[in-house]
Every structure is written in structure tokens, then in C-alpha cells.
Amino acid sequence: MLRFVAPVLLAASLLLVACSDDDDDLPPSVAGGVTEVVRQVMAEASPDMAQGQLLELTRVIVPPHESLPPHTHPGPQLAVIVSGTLTYTVIDGEVTVTRAAGTDSQEIVAYNSGDSFELREGDSISETAKMVHEAANEGDEPVII
């Protein structure tokens, strides 16, 4: 009897899996429903070697057709483009971009005041303190940094 029940249960299980709606099992998109630029602090710490400073791990979501106005950071900032394409402009200063970061084909490029360029998925960027820059999502998909 057990030899007959096991194949029937296996077939029923496979049928249920084949008929299930896979979209219900997927986690919601981190950018789902975001209609304006959002900065999410994922973790933060106060480094012992830099008293008075705050180290943060953040995620920034730039919805389609939204932008980041000209701004600076008080210290260095490192970022990676997780998805989407971001149009980035250096207004004053210099920035270093690693194209295809972490791959065999990575390439390091420096951009200066007046340069405008696209950052794509897998690119990383190293911004210096007080460097003035702006960015925009000119595409139809969210940019996640």
C-alpha cells in the first residue's frame, strides 16, 4: 500500500507546485510603491577610531523621472548601483567610478567638474567630501543605490 501512496502524493505535490502563483511567494520589491526619492538607513555605527563620526549603510531609491538636487556630503561616500541607470553630474570636484565593479572587466574612471555620465547596475562610485554633484533617474524603472 505504501508503494502506491507515495507516487500519488508526489504527483499531487508536483501538481500543487505547478499550479501555485509564484508571484505570491516572492518578496515585495524594495522600490514597490515608492513615488519620491527615499533614503533608508539599513545600519549605523560610531567608529572607535573616528570619534564624533557616524558610519551608515543606506539604500537610496530614486523612482523614474525623479532627481537628487545639487548637494555635498560631509565626508567620503561609497555607493553601488544595485539596479537601474542613474545620470550623474559632477558640478564641482572629482569623483571616481569603478565600472562593472568586482568583475574581471572592471575599469576605474575619474570624472571632473562639468562631467555628466551614466551609472549602471554594478558600477560603484567613490565621492569625496564637499564634492558638489547631482543625479537623475531619466528612465522608466527605479534606481536602487
Q: What is the CATH number of the domain that holds 50?
A: 2.60.120
Q: How far apart are CA 37 and CA 91, in angstroms?
A: 20
Q: What percent of the chain has pLDDT over 90?
A: 70
Q: What are phi and psi of 33, to 5 degrees?
A: 80, 0
pLDDT for the residue 100: 97
Residue 7 domain flag: no
Mean pLDDT of 72-92: 96
Q: Is the pTM of this model over 0.85?
A: no
Q: Mention every residue, 6+ apart, whose C-beta is less than 8 A from residue 119.
A: 81, 85, 86, 87, 88, 97, 125, 135
Residue 10 Ramachandran class (φ > 0 left, ψ -120 to 50 alpha, else beta): alpha
Residue 24 domain flag: no
Mean pLDDT of 96-106: 97
pLDDT for the residue 17: 42
Q: Position of cell 574612471?
A: 109
Look up the domain containing 58 and give its range.
29-144
Residue 91 domain flag: yes
Mean pLDDT of 17-35: 61
Say which residue, 106 or 3, is predicted with more confidence: 106
Q: Position of cell 508536483?
A: 14
Total structural domains within the chain: 1
Residue 4 domain flag: no
Q: Give the CA count within 13 Å in the CB-facing half-sphere of 55.
A: 8
Q: How far apart are CA 111 and CA 93, in angstroms?
A: 9
pLDDT for the residue 29: 74
| Residue 41 pLDDT grade (very low, low, confident, very high; cuts 50, 70, 90) | very high
| Residue 81 pLDDT grade (very low, low, confident, very high; cuts 50, 70, 90) | very high
Say which residue, 41 or 15, is predicted with more confidence: 41
